[in-house]
Amino acid sequence: MDTMTIGQLARSANVSVETVRYYERRRLLPEPPRSPSGYRKYPGDSLRRLRFIRRAQDVGFTLAEIEELLALRTGTASQCREAESTAARAIERVDERMAELSRMKTALASLLDSCRNRSPAGDCPIIEALEDAEAVDEEE
């Protein structure tokens, strides 16, 4: 038998048992057959699927997107288009988030900078800047 229990599967993929069950609830993993006593018995390729999910998460797909990708795995050309556009959307999200972080970093760095160069006797420039700043307020 090349079947595994949920614990073996979870350990192999480096996730918790709870996580495996959670993915099943989310329909990312199909319901596996059960033993007579009701234990889940996973066929070998469940591990491949579980790893697929984790890798996709690592590159920043959400679980909802992974669900889409999994639905496409039968593999015709038009389905590849869909995977492509899912990936493109993920890249856009990443870009937006990076731009936002970059703005934040600029604002923070200038706060910190003013702090390091401050006149030794004045009030804290970080707090002052947040109190009156328009300087920081170019968002949205």
Partner DNA sequence: ATAAACCCTGTACCATGGTACGGAGTCAAG
Partner DNA sequence: CTTGACTCCGTACCATGGTACAGGGTTTAT
Residues that bind its own copies (CB under 8 A): 48, 52, 55-56, 58-60, 69, 72-73, 75, 77, 79-80, 83-84, 87-88, 90-91, 94-95, 97-98, 101-102, 104-105, 107-109, 111-112, 115-116, 118, 120, 123-127, 130-131, 133, 136-137, 139
Whats the size of the chain, residue-wise?
Answer: 140
CA angle 110, 111, 112 (to 5 degrees): 90
Given 12, 51, 52, 63, the residue binding DNA (CB under 7 A): 63
Partners of 100 in the β-ladder: none
What is the C-alpha separation between 83 and 68, in angstroms, rounded? Answer: 8
Of 1, 2, 37, 120, which one interacts with DNA (CB under 7 A)?
37
* Neighbouring-strand partners of residue 34: 40
Check binding of 57 to DNA (CB under 7 A).
Answer: yes
85 scored as a contact of DNA (CB under 7 A): no
C-alpha 108/C-alpha 35 separation (Å) is 57
Per rule CB under 7 A, count of chain residues that contact DNA: 23
Are the CB atoms for 40 and 3 separated by under 8 Å? no
Residue 48 binds what, of DNA, its own copies, none (CB under 5 to 8 Å, by partner type)? its own copies
Which option in DNA, its own copies, none does residue 16 bind, with CB closer than 5 to 8 A by kind? Answer: DNA
The closest of 101, 134, 104, 118 to 126, measured between CA atoms, is 118
